[in-house]
């Protein structure tokens, strides 16, 4: 059983996120904590110039709202955290900041460019200082 579990969730893949959240709840020890993490990727400056300034804040607000809804509909208590930057780096930073003992990362069925697991999952597995469960989802 685990005390603190990080569950990174892509807003575009809430169904996979819900499965990972449910799996986390079965692995959590009594009194433990689940942290749902969404990462808002930084937009390169040369692209950001042409985008509305509120775009980043809208992405953060949307993530908080959708993760909150996921928590309410699943009935599984969890904290919400919004990171920014490169996904793998943000996941690893959150795991270290929260002293997590498990990261559950959903991974799609890979293609030849990332044959074994997805690119973000691969980076997390390689560099995490805690256990990582790769939840293969179709």
Condensed to tens digits (0 to 9), the pLDDT of residues 30-65 reads: 999 999 999 998 877 777 677 787 888 899 999 999
pLDDT digits (tens, 9 = 90+) for 69-79: 999 999 999 99
Query: What integer pLDDT is reported at residue 31 of this predicted model?
Result: 96
CA 76 to each of CA 32, 72, 127: distance values in angstroms, whole numbers, following the listed order? 12, 7, 28
Task: Report the distance separating Cα 36 and Cα 20, nearest Å.
Answer: 10
Q: Which of these, 105, 88, 126, lies nearest to 8 by C-alpha position?
A: 105
Query: What integer pLDDT is reported at residue 107 of this predicted model?
Result: 77
Paired strand residues for 131: 102
Q: How is the beta sheet containing 131-136 ordered, strand by strand?
A: 79-84, 28-40, 2-8, 102-107, 131-136
Q: Which CATH number fits domain 2-136: 3.40.50.620, 3.60.15.10, 3.40.50.970, 1.10.357.10?
A: 3.40.50.620
- pTM of the complete model beyond 0.85: yes
Paired strand residues for 83: 39
pLDDT digits (tens, 9 = 90+) for 107-126: 766 554 444 446 888 899 99
Q: Following DSSP, what letter does each residue of 54-69 receive, concatenated? A: THHHHHHHHHHHHHHH
Task: Report the distance separating Cα 47 and Cα 18, nearest Å.
Answer: 32
Query: What integer pLDDT is reported at residue 85 of this predicted model?
Result: 92
Residue with tokens 């449910």: 22
């Amino acid at each position: 059983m685990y005390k603190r579990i990080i569950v990174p969730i892509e807003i575009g893949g809430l169904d996979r996120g819900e499965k990972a959240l449910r799996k986390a709840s079965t692995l959590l020890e009594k009194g433990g904590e689940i942290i749902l993490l969404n990462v808002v990727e930084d937009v390169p400056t040369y692209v950001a110039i042409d985008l509305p300034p509120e775009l980043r804040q809208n992405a953060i607000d949307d993530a908080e709202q959708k993760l909150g809804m996921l928590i309410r509909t699943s009935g599984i208590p969890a904290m919400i955290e919004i990171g920014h930057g490169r996904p793998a780096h943000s996941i690893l930073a959150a795991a270290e900041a929260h002293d997590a003992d498990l990261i559950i990362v959903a991974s799609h069925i890979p293609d030849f460019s990332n044959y074994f697991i997805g690119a973000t999952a691969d980076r997390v597995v390689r560099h995490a200082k805690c256990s990582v469960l790769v939840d293969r989802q179709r």
